[in-house]
Amino acid sequence: MTDTATIQPRNRGLRHIFIGSDGLRAGWSLLLFCLILTVLTIGAVVAGTFINGKPPHAPAGSEQGVIPSIKGEALTFVVLLVTSWLMSLIERRPFATYGLRRTRAVPDLLAGMAWGIAMLSLLVGMLTLSGALVFDGFAMSGSTALEYGAAWFFAFCLVGLFEEFLTRGFLQYTLARGVAGIVRAVAPDNKNARTIGFWVAALVFSVGVFAGGHLANKGETAMGLVSVALAGLTFVYVLYRTGSLWWAIGFHATWDWAQSFLYGVRDSGLAMEGHLLASHPAGAALLSGGDTGPEGSILVVPTLLLTVFIIHRTLPRRATAFDA
């Protein structure tokens, strides 16, 4: 008879500290990811400073400029993408494991974009009908409007790519598998280990980190942060159902684009230069959103709940790495 206790010590070497049953242990993966990301970020900033002669900065006015936004988002996304790709090589996992799957990428992206504009328009419509949002007319027209519209669309596609992949890409997957491993160690017969790991990681990154990243936004409010957290849960639900980030990336991009360019309202407290319509909030901030914009309105809650229902009805459940 072979005793398990006599076999296990052979595996308890230096390798066991770093390597588990599913490869490099999640804790080390997260630490290595943060280290590589930090080094590449510093390198990118130094290179940008050398090329431009000064570090990138926001425009002097109170509004966000479109060109600095594109440059900043492109740089951060490329750094994140390279870091995640390097981790996929180190961990010997397909890069698509982290959410950027090729399967149905374009249909999911386009569907998410369509729903992003539709749901933000619904929110703006409710605010307008209630008198909480007032439109003052067109702020620009003609070729200028087309140029700004295209530039901001590109900028917010980068925003969607960066924010979704940062909070719901490698970090989400890796913490989820780490928590799942702990659950299995404590309760080997637990069939829901991966599901538990997924939602624990979702609370950390899609609620905590995603909402926390908006704390520095001027004009952000408590209701605005609640909205961001709810949006994070909405987006991570897409990942849970499909194993893909593309629908959420599309929704995120056009939701922000419709706020900042199309309707000319604030986006999480930020005002953008060059918007098609001019508008201003009216009445109590809890309803209008005040300086936060529509995301600071209590009406964003039913809007996002309806979005979750739409996701549930329009996105079929696919076999993913998060299934138990």
320 lies in some domain = no
Q: Are 264 and 125 in contact (CB under 8 A)?
A: no
| Predicted pLDDT at 157 | 97
CA-closest candidate to residue 296, choices 259, 254, 261: 259
In a domain, 252, yes or no: yes
Q: Are 207 and 225 in contact (CB under 8 A)?
A: no
Q: Is residue 16 part of a domain?
A: yes
Which pLDDT score is estimated for 322?
55
Judge whether 217 lies within some domain. Answer: yes
Task: Say if 323 falls within a structural domain.
Answer: no
Phi/psi of residue 264, nearest 5 degrees = 65, 30
- Domain tally for the chain? 1
With vertex at residue 155, the alpha carbon angle to CA 149 and CA 160, rounded to the nearest 5 degrees, is: 120
Indicate whether 261 belongs to any domain: yes
Question: Looking at the whole model, is its pTM more than 0.75?
Answer: yes
Residue 269 covered by a domain:
yes
The boundaries of the domain holding residue 237 are: 4-314
Q: pLDDT tens-digit profile of 161-201? A: 999 999 999 999 999 999 999 999 999 889 899 999 999 99
Low-confidence spans in the chain with pLDDT less than 50: 1-9, 55-61, 324
**pLDDT given at position 44:** 86
CB atoms within 10 A of CB 302: 12
Q: What is the pLDDT of residue 46?
A: 83
Query: How confident is the model at residue 9, as a pLDDT?
Result: 47
Written in H, E and C, the secondary structure of the chain is CCCHHHHHHHHCCHHHHHEECCEECHHHHHHHHHHHHHHHHHHHHHHHHHHHCCCCCCCCCCCECHHHHHHHHHHHHHHHHHHHHHHHHHHCCCHHHHCCCCCCHHHHHHHHHHHHHHHHHHHHHHHHHCCCEEEEEECCCHHHHHHHHHHHHHHHHHHHHHHHHHHHCHHHHHHHHHHHHHHHHHCCCCCCHHHHHHHHHHHHHHHHHHHHCCCCCCCCCHHHHHHHHHHHHHHHHHHHHHCCCHHHHHHHHHHHHHHHHHCCCCECCECECCCCEEEEECCCHHHHCHHHCHHHCCCHHHHHHHHHHHHHHHCCCCCCCCCC
Asked whether residue 319 is assigned to any structural domain, the reply reads no
What pLDDT sits at residue 151?
A: 95
Q: What is the pLDDT of residue 92?
A: 93
